[in-house]
Amino acid sequence: MIHSQAIFDRDPPAQYDGVFLWDFLAGAFGPTIRPMDFDGVIEYRGYFLVFETKNPGVEPPTGQLRAFDALLYESRFTIVFCCKRPAQIRGWTVWTQHGVSEFHGGASALRAWCAAWFEDKKQRPILIPPGRVARSREPGEDDE
């Protein structure tokens, strides 16, 4: 369900491959619950870095916040809230199972924070159950 087609058309999502129309599910989960998306997800070794982007001053809807809270029961999830446009990033908020942290800086600082997250996960055990993935891949390897 696209709230503003004009805005969506102006800023299509990364790796945009078309619109899936969720309207057919309206009412299936009660009168107010609708599908949501993550703006970006990185999975590495069974750990997840989830990005939610909003325009400055726009808060995520209550239902989306509840969904993010539920993810945090899994210690493998880290959620980053930041501005939609890299040029407008002045800081970001990180949610983990251990709490909420505020960070200040622009897009390059967020990139450095993400690189540090990645380096940390390289040092941790792989959390993918055996037999669930045919083989492990290193960063940069493409699917065959």
Instruction: State the pLDDT confidence band at 115, using cuts at 50, 70 and 90.
Output: very high
Residue 142 lies in a domain: no
pTM to 2 decimals?
Answer: 0.77
Residue 28 lies in a domain: no
Q: List, as one string, the DSSP characters of 67-132.
A: HHHHHTTSTTEEEEEEESSGGG-SEEEEEETTEEEEEE--HHHHHHHHHHHHHHHHTSPP-SPTTS
HSE on the CB side for 22, CA within 13 Å? 12
Q: List, for residues 7-34, the tens digit of each pLDDT value.
A: 666 766 666 666 778 889 999 999 988 8
Residue 98 lies in a domain: yes
Residue 17 lies in a domain: no
Q: List, for residues 74-110, the tens digit of each pLDDT value.
A: 889 999 999 999 999 999 999 999 999 999 999 999 9
Domain, as residue range, for 52: 37-122
Residue 127 lies in a domain: no
